[in-house]
Structure 1
Amino acid sequence: MLVTGYPAFAQKELMDSFAARDSIDVTPRASEDVTVRGSLDFPIRESVDSTVRGSVNIAARKSLDQTIRASTDTRLEFKRTSMDSDKMSEIIEKEIDSGQTTPVEEFLNWSGWYKWYLNMLGGLLGFVTTFASSAPSGYATDLLAKFHLDAELDALVISLFVMGFCVGPLLWAPLSEQYGRRPILIISFLGFTAFQIACPFATHFGAIAAFRFLGGVFSASTQPIAPYFLHDSWDDATREKALIVQAILSFIGPTIGPLVSGYMAAANIDWKWCFWMLAIMTGTCTLLIILTYPETYRPILLTRKAKRLRKETGDVRYQAPLELVQSPKLSGRLHDTLAKPFIMFLLEPMLIATTMYLAFLGGCLYMLLEAYPVVFQEGYHFSSSTLALTYLPVTAGNFFALALHLWVIQPEYEREVKAYAPNPVPPEERLWVAVWAAPLFAITFLWFGWTSFPTINFWVPMMSGFVMGCTMLLLMVAMFNYIVDVYAFAAASALSSSMAIRNVFGAVFPLFSTQMYRALDPRWASTLVGCVAIVAIPIPIVLKRYGPAFRAKSRYHDPVRII
């Protein structure tokens, strides 16, 4: 059996005999922990890299009833199945010529500018998605009049779109690992564009609510795909820069959306043009994906090479790891798609802690869209167009966080990479930023609330948004980096559950924020949120101190990175 796409050093002894009668002999690296699983007569890992990192000798009898099934996290697991013995008898050993460049090597050797272009394109897709989530808020008055809504139902125009973010990653992440990143992005953004076009034709609130929810579902494909591209293409040191640049483009979307639409509304431009604008933006992104975005998922690239080699040589034994997958039943696919990310979430204390903190941060970001009108429109009597300007300090704080990352945090991490070489930097080193950013984030809500009296100059509560935007982005980047580093093999599932829960908070917070800020007044409402933020301060501290112990007990952590 020919397995394509492995590094040259791993192919010399790959699959060199089928000799043993009742067992498969796998020789792991000396440094690897091994455990016995099931009835197998040899030590193997609970989950094995789909990339071979040493000499692997596999032997099996004719009636072999063990096969390798790839998981959705690009790992391979040994699973007992019933296989046709005649079919298995046709599998023979053959050494692969390692002189050719594999798709993986080509992928890693892309020029720096091209990888940065793809990174910026991923950031643009994230920006358009989050921009679309909040843009209709600038037309709140027009939508209230058009569809005869009260303030609570008007908030649903935003919340339903964000609720679509909860469903989307659970569908698109596993589908992208089965069919590739590129086709999923194309299909999802075609749907995203279609539902933006449909919104101006809505004749009642039910229609626009459905279009907004479905638009959110289709737009959410960028959430799991864009971060995983960073994991696939960049080394640890460069990924920090790439992630912060991509994150800031996604992060400023919710604050830029009301700014643009607010001035459109002030210029008496019809509300329908808000959605036509979104359709133009999403359509442009769709064209960019079709014309410039290649396939970046490595197992798919290896499968394509295996098919090409079979066609060129006529030898059907050339197989890529993904082609060794046993076709799962429908129940298995539903488990991997819908249940697996949340099972992983429930079993991993580190993932629970980081996800709940990220969810709270995401909820606070969208809560500002409802809290600011109460403070600045009702308290300071700002117009709708002037209100949009109050979000600019939050955006300015995001860019300050970007500069801080590039000039302070990133150089420090690069020094750690050299210090720990050739070993990877422990994931806990990502959290030192979060340790000091968490208290500052809690303080910003107390600052915002207790300086929001109309007798105090509006610049004082506005500038709390600067520190809030800075610390919020620093916390999110640190937590996302930590998740990717800890769950390198299971990053897609970890990010899927994390993003889904974070988006639930982002969808729910706007629904009660207006009532909370009116009922408790901005002072006590902000104090309540600030107290929750204070309770969350120990999360990065505990993870930094006890992270290695948690990782040692994790079922999904593996310190060896996929090549």
Structure 2
Amino acid sequence: MKRFSDLEAEDAQEYVQRAEAELEDSAEKLDLIVVHFQEGDPEDPHNWPRWYRWYLCVFDCYLVFLTTFASSIPSGFAGALAKEFGLSSELVALTITLFIVGFCVGPVLWGPLSEQYGRRPVLLACSIVFTAFQIGCALAKNKAEITTFRLISGIFSAGAHPIAPAVMADVWDVATREKALIYLGFLSFVGPTMGPLVGGYMASAGIEWQWCFWLLAILCGVSTIMIALTHKETYRPIILERKAASLRKQLNDNRYRAPLELLERHTLGGRLRLTLSKPFVMFVREPALIATTVYLAFTGGCLYMLFEAYPIVFEEGHHFKPSSLGLAYLPLTGGAIIMLLVYLAVIQPAYERAVAAHAPAPVPPEVRLAPAIWTAPLFAASFFWFGWTSFPTVSFWVPLMSGVLLGLSTLALLVALLNYVVDVYVHTAATALGALTVIRSISGAVFPLFSTQLFRALNPRWASTLVGCVAVLMVPIPLALQKWGPALRRRSQYLQQDAV
């Protein structure tokens, strides 16, 4: 019997599928009855009512939105926080970035725990702690407390990030899951752009800074109650374990076992050590993963960089009020909405046609790169547009509208490259995405720390030009992956192991 340490970080569900025949043989020798879902089994998440499965997906998308919204809403109270705690501009930025640092820890921690104990209990526990520390932030008395509570909040809020896409994979077929993941990507992008808008209006209305955290506590508290009351367990191996336990009790027959119970499961500590180390071991060995991770880390960092750049351009240059500054982020959301509609109306149907054309063989992963190839130049162009129209003498509408191009291209790159990674590393996708998520979160945490100095030292024109030039250097990445991706896959030891 294999051990979990032999899996090269495959998730438990994939292992159960691969080892099913071996488990059946072992069960027969031990005179055990292996419990599986039967055709039309109402306990199988794939057979749950369609409306309820969509409810779970929409609700989990909302949870991801809420965590990203929580990351940026304090930026609207930057002045109040600086005055209350005696913070420099860098420390005010730190109250935002420390929350994002929590995203570096959470995804690789809560993912494996959800495979040990199920999606629902981990999601519920994370939501309870997340809610509690929003209350802690509202009651903070000094800068040590506010920064510590923000960091812990970020760690526990990140429970939704690996669990939400996992729930979608639990309950949907591949085609429907892709549509659900598009909504997830959209809301994870919109959350950070809505935070400054709401926070800015609250601050301009004279509301105390504590109320941004009280608002989050209320939203998180309601979400926690909804998880407890309405969110079923979706992880199929765990459901089968419970089903086997119920059969043993009802029939007084100890032969009933779920597939996961027949595996020699790693201890929790060993499982966590394996999961925490494997993503980074895999990352340094896979050129395709390095390229996509670096690109997505850069785009994610640029998004959070705008929280420091926009005040310089629009508050200082165009004399926006704090409440009006939040409106500057709406074009980003508008661009993302345009890309969402294009994806659903054009790109996704084209991919479904490709699936039919290649059947029964799988679609080559490089097909996923098409949106990234034509939006990569747009992403770079948006920074030149923003920078060289940021003069106070130029109408603020001109740099403002660069956000449409930036929002459109950022979402397209995010969805296309994430789908590419999932398609390439089918059986080790959780590991690949673990490394990508952590490094992208680090970028989102670090960029705001130097953005203010960069835009003041070089002025917005040359600072944006520098960022745009780096983006130009990354334009060939999707093209290179399209050309050399098949060769890289043939040389990948992880994909060779999958083929065994």
Partner of 2:298 in structure 1?
360
Partner of 2:10 in structure 1?
none
Bigger Cα displacement from structure 2, 512-521 vs 242-251: 242-251
CA–CA separation in structure 2 for the residues paired with 1:304 and 1:398: 41
Matching of residues 475-486 of structure 1 within 5 Å:
475-486=413-424
Matching of residues 200-349 of structure 1 within 5 Å:
200-329=138-267, 332-349=270-287
Q: Are the equivalent residues in 2 in contact too, given 1:103–1:302 (CA < 8 A)?
A: no
CA–CA separation in structure 1 for the residues paired with 2:35 and 2:278: 37
Picking from 401, 405, 408, the partner of 1:470 is 408
CA–CA separation in structure 1 for the residues paired with 2:496 and 2:40: 24
Partner of 2:351 in structure 1?
413
Residues 1:142 and 1:95: Cα distance change in structure 2 (over 3 Å): closer
Q: Are the equivalent residues in 2 in contact too, given 1:131–1:256 (CA < 8 A)?
A: yes
Residues 1:126 and 1:98: Cα distance change in structure 2 (over 3 Å): closer
Shift, 1:91, TM fit: 4.5
- Per the normalisation by structure 1, the TM-score is 0.82
Q: Are the equivalent residues in 2 in contact too, given 1:364–1:509 (CA < 8 A)?
A: yes
Partner of 1:44 in structure 2?
none
Residues 1:56 and 1:278: Cα distance change in structure 2 (over 3 Å): closer
Shift, 1:361, TM fit: 1.1
Bigger Cα displacement from structure 2, 156-165 vs 349-358: 349-358
Say whether 1:424 aligns with 2:362: yes
Say whether 1:443 aligns with 2:409: no
Shift, 1:54, TM fit: 8.8
Bigger Cα displacement from structure 2, 533-542 vs 137-146: 533-542
CA–CA separation in structure 2 for the residues paired with 1:331 and 1:180: 17
Q: Are the equivalent residues in 1 in contact too, given 2:291–2:477 (CA < 8 A)?
A: yes
Say whether 1:461 aligns with 2:399: yes
Shift, 1:494, TM fit: 2.0
1:250-289 C-alpha deviation (Å, 9 max, x unpaired): 2111111110110111110111111100101111111111
Say whether 1:51 aligns with 2:3: no
Partner of 2:314 in structure 1?
376
Say whether 1:184 aligns with 2:122: yes
Q: Are the equivalent residues in 2 in contact too, given 1:237–1:410 (CA < 8 A)?
A: no
Q: Are the equivalent residues in 1 in contact too, given 2:23–2:259 (CA < 8 A)?
A: no
Partner of 1:157 in structure 2?
95
CA–CA separation in structure 2 for the residues paired with 1:327 and 1:239: 29
Query: Equivalent pairs: percent with the same residue?
Result: 56
Aligned to 1:326, the other structure's residue is in SS state coil
1:340-380 C-alpha deviation (Å, 9 max, x unpaired): 22122222222221111111111011001111001111111
The residue type paired with residue 290 of structure 2 is I
What is the Cα-based RMSD across aligned positions, in Å?
2.5
Partner of 1:396 in structure 2?
334
Q: Are the equivalent residues in 2 in contact too, given 1:142–1:271 (CA < 8 A)?
A: yes
Bigger Cα displacement from structure 2, 223-232 vs 530-539: 223-232
Q: Are the equivalent residues in 2 in contact too, given 1:103–1:305 (CA < 8 A)?
A: no
Shift, 1:183, TM fit: 0.4
CA–CA separation in structure 2 for the residues paired with 1:227 and 1:199: 29
Partner of 2:491 in structure 1?
553
- Count of residues in Structure 1 that have an aligned counterpart in Structure 2: 489
CA–CA separation in structure 2 for the residues paired with 1:385 and 1:49: 52
1:96-155 C-alpha deviation (Å, 9 max, x unpaired): 687944869721122322221111111100111000000000011111111111111110
Q: Are the equivalent residues in 2 in contact too, given 1:487–1:558 (CA < 8 A)?
A: no
Which segments of 5 or more consecutive residues in structure 2 lack a partner in the other structure? 7-12
Q: Are the equivalent residues in 2 in contact too, given 1:173–1:493 (CA < 8 A)?
A: no
Partner of 2:137 in structure 1?
199
Say whether 1:496 aligns with 2:434: yes
Q: Which has the higher contact order (CA 8 A, sep 6+)?
A: 2
CA–CA separation in structure 2 for the residues paired with 1:554 and 1:302: 34
Residues 1:457 and 1:59: Cα distance change in structure 2 (over 3 Å): closer
The residue type paired with residue 513 of structure 1 is S
The residue type paired with residue 50 of structure 1 is V
- Per the normalisation by structure 2, the TM-score is 0.92
The residue type paired with residue 142 of structure 1 is A
CA–CA separation in structure 1 for the residues paired with 2:328 and 2:21: 61
Partner of 2:74 in structure 1?
136
Matching of residues 533-552 of structure 1 within 5 Å:
533-552=471-490
Q: Are the equivalent residues in 1 in contact too, given 2:311–2:325 (CA < 8 A)?
A: yes
Aligned to 1:520, the other structure's residue is in SS state helix
Residues 1:355 and 1:384: Cα distance change in structure 2 (over 3 Å): same
Residues 1:100 and 1:170: Cα distance change in structure 2 (over 3 Å): closer
The residue type paired with residue 250 of structure 1 is S
Shift, 1:232, TM fit: 3.1
Shift, 1:230, TM fit: 2.6
Residues 1:416 and 1:260: Cα distance change in structure 2 (over 3 Å): same
Which segments of 5 or more consecutive residues in structure 1 lack a partner in the other structure? 1-23, 25-36, 38-46, 61-87
CA–CA separation in structure 1 for the residues paired with 2:147 and 2:192: 19
**Largest Rg, 1 or 2:** 1
Shift, 1:95, TM fit: 6.7
CA–CA separation in structure 1 for the residues paired with 2:436 and 2:42: 28
